[in-house]
Amino acid sequence: MSVYSLLGLGCRLIINEKFTNHMIIILAGLMTFSYIFHSKWFLIAFFVVLVISAIKEPVLAYVGWIMGYANFQYITNVTGIVAYYLLVPIIGFGVIVSLLRGGKHKIPPKIFLFSLGFFVIASITLLNTRDISNGSLSFFMFLVCLFILNAVIAATGENMKVLGVINQGIVLAALAAFISVAFTEGLFNSGRIGLGDNIRKLANIASPAVMILIAELILINGKKKMSILNDRFSKLTVIVFLIITIFTLIATVSRGAYLAVGLSVLVLFASYFITGKNGSTNKAKVILISILLVPILWLVIDVVGNYVSGNYLKRATVWTNNSRFDIWEAAYHQLDPFQKIIGAGFDSFRALANLTGIDHYAHSVYIDAYFTFGIAGIALLFMLIFHTVKLAIRKKSSFALAMTTLTVFLYATHGNISGSMDFWFLLALSYCSCAVSHMNDRSDTDTISELKQRKR
């Protein structure tokens, strides 16, 4: 099928009532074909179809951003342009189109105050940066991160349809990544798999996909048979998707991602039982799902260990003597007493690490936030996370608690404060996921007085 045929198909689907679901598949297919054939024309078609489809359904701009960010290194290599400059305008375009079409974009007051606080601290930090010319780019990138945080929250809010589209986009992006790697680098004896040699970006898209699919299994097995995806898939389809995404995640051999997913799944199940008021039937099904995950996990680990990653998988069993702790400590000792309080400015971590003979970036959003902004910045970031957790508990949303846990730990050993836009995207998604409170709805056996009390 030619690029023009795919474009024509995309235009015809505009009148289809399942337009959004079809477009997610088409976008995933175009990105996959582009990666497999290393074709810039398929990549151009991806962006053209994305722009056209976002005019009708602006939320698809966020889906396109997700798929593009997963292929960040590949897009950079093919176009010769750092992918940031192609992907950031996509979200801006989605916001503009939505506003022109009368879409409601409301930024919660506390999120606005957090963002304003970050802006003030970042502005002061820029003045404290040794090389302001280089630091200005990181300052601008950080402002883009704040824009992404606010844009996703404002566009999604408590709209389950928008949240479902974004969740489905994450799952399809992970599946597309698996197919891309399978048909190019291959899976057998491949060691650690990645997209365009970027292992961590693949782990960062597979991790939330696994979390979303496990939560989906719980929801579709509940009495109300709810869904956090835009399209309702069968149980078998969800299980197959889950196996593929778990396989993809494990094959990246990313210990930080393993820890983040493991803890988030634990939080998901624990909070479901602690805060939930569901009937015993639903809880029994959740227990069965957790039991089902054990043989799936064992089988996938066995296959990956024997046929894909080989000795690389042994790396996942070694959690001691991590060099990052030594690098963080060495860089910390280069700070003067005043910098330990107010931070050393943008791009300071690598400069400080270089003084010790190590050319290394922070490999942690929180470590980099401390080195950049000091105590005030890292405190504000933790306050934002705590606010999200508090809201999830108040809303009794097990899914939001799990997503927040995933986001927090996924970037504890990866990324930096101004360059990891996916951190801010997932943090915004975690906040919006508080709308998924029906995972913990009361059972149909509630008395009338209890129902009235809930409405109050």
Q: Which of 28, 151, 32 is nearest to 89 (CA)?
A: 151
pLDDT (average), residues 125-153: 90
Q: Tell me the C-alpha distance between 389 and 387, whole Å.
A: 5
Q: Tell me the C-alpha distance between 87 and 72, whole Å.
A: 9
Higher pLDDT pick, 226 / 352: 352
Per-residue CA distances from 180 to 174, 210, 312, 414 (Å): 10, 18, 21, 24
Q: Could you tell me if 433 and 399 are in contact, meaning their C-beta atoms sit under 8 angstroms apart?
A: yes
What percent of the chain is predicted at pLDDT more than 70? Answer: 85
What percent of the chain is predicted at pLDDT more than 90? Answer: 54
pLDDT (average), residues 100-125: 90
Predicted TM-score (pTM) of this structure: 0.88
| Predicted confidence (pLDDT) per residue in 341-350, tens digit | 999 999 899 8
| Dihedral pair phi/psi, residue 244, rounded to 5° | -65, -45
What is the structure's pLDDT at 16?
Answer: 45
What is the structure's pLDDT at 282?
Answer: 64
What is the structure's pLDDT at 430?
Answer: 95
Q: Using the predicted structure, report yes or no on whether residue 11 has a pLDDT greater than 80.
A: no
| Predicted confidence (pLDDT) per residue in 248-276, tens digit | 999 888 888 999 999 999 999 888 877 65
> Degrees (nearest 5) of the Cα angle 25, 56, 140?
85
> Which pLDDT band holds residue 93 (cuts at 50, 70, 90)?
very high
Where do runs of H (alpha helix) occur along 80-131? 84-100, 109-128
Higher pLDDT pick, 217 / 207: 207
Q: Which of 41, 54, 36, 63 is nearest to 103 (CA)?
A: 54
| Predicted confidence (pLDDT) per residue in 387-445, tens digit | 999 999 998 888 999 999 999 999 998 899 998 999 999 999 999 998 776 544 433 33
Taking the CA atoms of residue 211, residue 213, residue 216 and residue 221 in that order, the dihedral angle to the nearest 10 degrees is -110
Q: Using the predicted structure, report yes or no on whether residue 373 has a pLDDT greater than 60.
A: yes
> Which pLDDT band holds residue 318 (cuts at 50, 70, 90)?
low
Q: Using the predicted structure, report yes or no on whether residue 451 has a pLDDT greater than 70.
A: no
Q: Tell me the C-alpha distance between 175 and 28, whole Å.
A: 9
Where do runs of H (alpha helix) occur along 184-254? 199-220, 235-251
Residue 415, Ramachandran bin (φ over 0: left; ψ between -120 and 50: alpha; else beta): left
Q: Which of 83, 208, 217, 105 is nearest to 151 (CA)?
A: 105
**DSSP state, residue 221:** T
Q: Which of 179, 166, 197 is nearest to 58 (CA)?
A: 166
Q: Tell me the C-alpha distance between 379 and 384, whole Å.
A: 9
Per-residue CA distances from 241 to 76, 176, 202, 238, 244 (Å): 28, 11, 16, 5, 5
What is the structure's pLDDT at 98?
Answer: 87
Round the average pLDDT of the chain to a whole number and report it: 84
pLDDT (average), residues 223-241: 83
What is the structure's pLDDT at 308?
Answer: 78
Q: Tell me the C-alpha distance between 58 and 212, whole Å.
A: 22
Q: Which residues of 127-147 are buried (b: 16+ CB within 10 A; e: fewer)?
A: ebbeeeeebeebbebbbbbbb
| Predicted confidence (pLDDT) per residue in 165-206, tens digit | 999 999 999 999 999 998 988 777 776 788 776 778 889 999
**How many Cβ atoms sit within 10 Å of the Cβ of residue 98?**
21
Higher pLDDT pick, 321 / 218: 218
Q: Could you tell me if 131 and 99 are in contact, meaning their C-beta atoms sit under 8 angstroms apart?
A: no
Q: Tell me the C-alpha distance between 456 and 451, whole Å.
A: 9
